């Protein structure tokens, strides 16, 4: 079945970036992190317990575009941005011993401004079934992302939402059991969330999980 993830932004400001990845085969999340602040270079720490061979997925939403893909990472859902708008991207990498020793990765933007960055690390090297992103600059309060492939019952869906505003946000899914991972808000011009969902269909239909930031 396909899954529809609906990202709801109460106060979206000039733009939003919403991202979704589907990871195959009953993956285990090692850990996650999320930050919202203003800078030109952001350090994204690996969650505690991350190991060589794990799959790391990094999301960002920002007012400026990144200067390039960090070395060794693969970019997906490429939506660049520049003030006053908001764009984003998804990066993935299978971590090696050097990554674990460093303990973090960095994303540098073309100028200093607000951004939201999130990371999820999976044990081992599960397969990424698909990744998608949706950028809005029309101040829409809802953005939908529909998976392009059939999602198996053992797959895990990870969703990232971000907006250039301090905002009360929520997310609903057409089927599945959602679980909050992280929320962040800089109380000024950036807020976002991360959540995961198994694709088990609830007996009563769709499920939702609201997040107040």
Band of pLDDT at residue 204, cut at 50, 70 and 90: very low
Residue ranges per structural domain of the chain: 4-202
pTM: 0.91
Is the pLDDT reported for residue 7 higher than 70?
yes
Rounded Cα–Cα distance for residues 1 and 15 (Å):
30
Phi and psi for 90 in degrees, rounded to 5? Answer: -125, 135
- Average pLDDT along the chain: 89
Band of pLDDT at residue 165, cut at 50, 70 and 90: very high
Mean pLDDT, residues 134-161 taken together: 92
What is the distance in angstroms between the CA of the first residue and the CA of the last residue of the chain?
31
Q: How far is CA 19 from CA 57, 99, 124, in A?
A: 11, 24, 22
Which is more confidently placed, 189 or 95? 95
Question: For residues 184 and 206, is the Cβ–Cβ distance under 8 A?
Answer: no
Three-class DSSP category at 45? strand
Q: Pull the structure tokens for residue 137.
A: 């600059």
Amino acid 208: pLDDT: 34
Amino acid 200: pLDDT: 54
Tell me how many helices (H) and strands (E) the chain has.
1, 14
61-110 residue pLDDT tens: 999 999 989 999 999 998 988 777 899 999 999 999 999 999 999 999 99
Is the pLDDT reported for residue 203 higher than 80?
no
Is the pLDDT reported for residue 202 higher than 80?
no
Is the pLDDT reported for residue 206 higher than 70?
no
The continuous run of DSSP H or E covering 153 comes out as none
């Amino acid at each position: 079945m396909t899954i529809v993830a609906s990202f709801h932004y109460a106060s979206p400001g000039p733009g939003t970036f919403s991202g979704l990845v589907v990871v195959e085969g009953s993956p285990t999340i090692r850990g996650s992190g999320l930050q919202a602040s203003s800078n030109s270079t952001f350090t994204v720490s690996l969650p505690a317990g991350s190991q060589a061979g794990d799959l790391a997925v990094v999301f960002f939403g920002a007012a400026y575009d990144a200067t390039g893909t960090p070395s060794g990472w693969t970019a997906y859902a490429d939506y660049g941005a520049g003030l006053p708008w908001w764009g984003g991207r998804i990066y993935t990498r299978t971590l090696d011993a050097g990554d674990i020793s460093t303990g973090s990765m960095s994303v540098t933007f073309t100028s200093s401004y607000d951004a939201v960055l999130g990371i999820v690390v999976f044990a081992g090297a599960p397969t990424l079934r698909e990744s998608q992103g949706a950028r809005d600059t029309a101040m829409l309060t809802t953005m939908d992302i529909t998976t392009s492939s059939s999602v198996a019952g053992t797959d895990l869906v990870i969703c990232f939402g971000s907006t250039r505003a301090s905002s009360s946000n929520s997310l609903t899914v057409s089927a599945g059991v959602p679980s909050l991972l992280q929320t962040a808000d800089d109380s000024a011009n950036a807020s976002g969330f991360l959540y995961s969902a198994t694709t088990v269909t609830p007996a009563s239909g769709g499920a939702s999980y609201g997040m107040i930031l």
